[in-house]
Structure formats: structure tokens, C-alpha cells
Amino acid sequence: MAPGKIEELQDSDSDAEFEDVPMTRRIGGDDVEIPISRPSPTWTPALSLPLQRAGPLASGSEEETQLRGQISTGVERITYRKMKSDIGMDAPDTPPTHRRYDSFAQLADDVSGLVDLLWASATPAIQTEALITLAGLTQISLPSFAFSAEATLSIFHKFDSVFAALCTSTHPITGAALPGAVIGQSLATETQKVRIRSLAERTRYQVFSCLATSGASAGNEDGDEELEEPDEPWMLEATKVYEKSLMLLAEQNDVTVEGDDEFTC
């Protein structure tokens, strides 16, 4: 476990490999080998979050202003690098932190870093709006890159866990109450919860669409007329995208929200 981080424990059997041991049956005096099918591999996204402050940043404080500035700068940098990926151009002297993204995993890494920064702040007044912005940016970026199952499912598992935590004031790993809150209390407004639900529904659709397209592309590369089905365990995990948030927010009433995915200082 990395210093200053809390990590979700994984099932010790989740990555276990099973050896195929053939069975034999005697037919007409000969031993005929009967193969045993190997269990499908399993994979689940890991969750790691930094330790949080003991309480939220004071409203209007210099620390709060600095955090807002860091998040805004981070969002702008991700948007800029994503735009450069779309046009496929980079100046030769561009510093590494401003170069175009070559994969969705690179974008997800930058997003994950900002999610960690927001989580550690324990400041709902900033967290929820910024997280909605980041989650929306991540969702619309999916079609711009070749589908990366682990990176995609991992970042949305992280968003789902954090959104569910803010809606219930419960730490997604330890089960403890969030700093300054009581378990069961929502730190997100009703409008924010509707936006989270809408974003979750759009994202789940987008993930399935990209997953299906990735299977189709793989099939066409070999000249096959039949399109390949998306591989396990990706399809199974795709059904869990934003699972916690959608279950929590299933009863939220629809409202019309202006500018619903934009974080402002």
C-alpha cells in the first residue's frame, strides 16, 4: 500500500490461475481424453484513495482559493491535451505535461490525480461540482481513443465510489463517516444528485458503445464477416459502471439544469 493511501482489498482468488487437468474415459479399450474447460478469467477494478483532511477547508480561505485554482488549471490542461489529441498535432518543443494524449489511459491518469486532490480536501463545496465536471470530461473523451478496458473501468469505478460516498457520507473503503459528516447525510444537493444520475446513465451507454465497437474492430481486422463479442470479463464489469450511484439515485426526479458539467472557480 502506498504511503498516505487507503486501498480496497481485492479478492485473493480473483487473479488465481487454474490448470486444465484432462479427464480420461475408457472407450472400447482405449483411454479417450476429455478436456475440461478452463474457468473464465476474472478482473475487478482496484480502488485507492488518499487520506482526507480532518475537516473541510474554510470558505473563502487562501487554501480553498488555491484548491479551486489547482482544479481549474488541471481541467484546462486535460481539455487542452485532449484537443491536441483530436487534431493529432504537437510542437516539437512541447513539454511532456502539455503533449497530446496518446491513449485514454494517459488522460485517465491525469483525471485520477485531480480526483485524489479533491477527495483529500474533504470539502464538499468544491468536490461535487468539480467531480461532475471531471466525470463528464472523461465520458465525452472515451470515443476519441482506442478502447482501454482496464483504464476505462478503473476510472469510472473511482468516480462511482466517490459519488456514492458523497451521497451517503460513508467512506467507500473503510465504511467510516466522512470528515465533519454523519453517515446517511448527503453532501450533494438534490440538483447535483440528478446531474450525477444523468451523467452515470450517459456514461454507461458510452462504455457499452465503445466496448461493442472495440469488439467489432477486432473482428474486422481479420476479415471476419461475423463481429466478435466483447471479451469477458470486460462485459461483466461494464454492467457495473456507476452501479452504486445509479442504485442510490434511482428515485431522483428529473430537473432541467443549465451548464451542468462545467466547474467554475
Cα distance between residue 52 and residue 163, in whole Å:
15
Cα distance between residue 17 and residue 9, in whole Å:
19
Report the candidate in 250, 219, 215, 221 with the shortest Cα–Cα distance to residue 235. 215
Tell me the average pLDDT across 228-232. Answer: 58
For residue 259, pLDDT beyond 60 = no
Report the candidate in 43, 42, 44, 36 with the shortest Cα–Cα distance to residue 19. 36
Contact 57, 63 (CB under 8 A): yes
CA distances from 146 to 12, 207, 215, 242 (A): 30, 12, 11, 21
Q: Residue type for 51, please?
A: L
Confidence band, pLDDT 50/70/90 cuts, at residue 220 = very low
**29-43, 167-181, 191-205, 210-224: which range is least confident on average?**
29-43
Residues in Cβ contact with 127 at an 8 Å cutoff, skipping those fewer than 6 apart: 118, 119, 121, 162, 166, 187
Q: Rounded to two decimals, what is the model's pTM?
A: 0.80
Tell me the average pLDDT across 126-139. Answer: 98
Query: 195-212 burial string, b = 16+ CB within 10 Å, else e?
Result: bbbbbbebbbebbeebbb
Cα distance between residue 145 and residue 213, in whole Å:
12
Contact 118, 130 (CB under 8 A): yes
Provide the terminal-to-terminal Cα distance of the chain, rounded to the nearest Å.
34
Cα distance between residue 257 and residue 82, in whole Å:
25
Taking each helix axis from N to C end, the angle separating 62-87 and 104-121, rounded to the nearest 10 degrees, works out to 170
The number of beta carbons lying within 10 Å of the beta carbon of residue 111 is 22
pLDDT in tens, 184-212: 999 999 999 999 999 999 999 999 999 88
Cα distance between residue 159 and residue 94, in whole Å:
30
Cα distance between residue 113 and residue 93, in whole Å:
25
Cα atoms in the 13 Å half-sphere on the side-chain side of 179:
13
Which range of 25-34, 120-129, 222-231 scores highest in mean pLDDT? It is 120-129
For residue 256, pLDDT beyond 60 = no
For residue 133, pLDDT beyond 90 = yes
Tell me the average pLDDT across 2-30. Answer: 56
% the chain with pLDDT above 90: 62
pLDDT at residue 43 in the model: 80
Strand (E) or helix (H) holding 135: helix 124-141
For residue 113, pLDDT beyond 80 = yes
